[in-house]
Amino acid sequence: MPQQIVLRACANLYKNTEQAPEEYTKLLTKAQQACNSAYAPYSNFYVGAALLLENGEIITGTNQENAAYPSGLCAERTAIYWVGANYPNVLIKAIAVSARHAGENNFLGVSPCGSCRQALLEYENKQKKPIKMILEHAEGILVFDCIADLLPLQFSDKNIEKP
Ligand code: THU
Mean pLDDT lowest for which of 24-28, 70-74, 155-159? 155-159
- Decide if pLDDT at 163 tops 90: no
Q: What is the pLDDT of residue 109?
A: 87
Report the distance separating Cα 154 and Cα 126, nearest Å: 14
Q: What is the pLDDT of residue 159?
A: 93
CATH architecture of the region 12-90+112-151: 3-Layer(aba) Sandwich (3.40)
64 in ligand 1 pocket by Cβ < 6 Å? no
Q: In this structure, is the dihedral angle defined by the CA atoms of residues 75, 112, 136 and 143, taken in order, positive or negative?
A: negative
Higher pLDDT, 50 or 109: 50
The rounded Å distance from CA 59 to ligand 1 centre is 18
Q: What is the pLDDT of residue 133?
A: 98
76 catalytic residue (yes or no): yes
- Decide if pLDDT at 17 tops 90: no
The answer to whether 62 and 71 have CB atoms below 8 angstroms apart is no
What's the angle, vertex CA 126, arms to CA 120 and CA 129, rounded to 5? 85
- State the virtual CA torsion across 87, 156, 152, 2 in degrees, nearest 10: -170
Spatial neighbors of 19 by CB under 8 A, at least 6 apart, are: 140
Which residue is closest in CA terms to ligand 1's atom 8?
A: 74
72 in ligand 1 pocket by Cβ < 6 Å? yes
- The pLDDT tens digits of the residues spanning 141-152 come to 999 999 999 999
95 in ligand 1 pocket by Cβ < 6 Å? no
The answer to whether 30 and 49 have CB atoms below 8 angstroms apart is no
Q: Give the active site residue among 76, 136, 139, 161.
A: 76
Strands 58-62 and 12-14 come out as unpaired
For the residues 35-58, what does the mean pLDDT come to?
A: 98
The answer to whether 17 and 25 have CB atoms below 8 angstroms apart is yes
**pTM (predicted TM-score):** 0.95
45, containing H or E segment: strand 45-53
Q: What is the pLDDT of residue 101?
A: 98
Higher pLDDT, 71 or 156: 71
The rounded Å distance from CA 7 to ligand 1 centre is 25
- The pLDDT tens digits of the residues spanning 88-136 come to 999 999 999 999 999 999 999 899 999 999 999 999 999 999 999 999 9
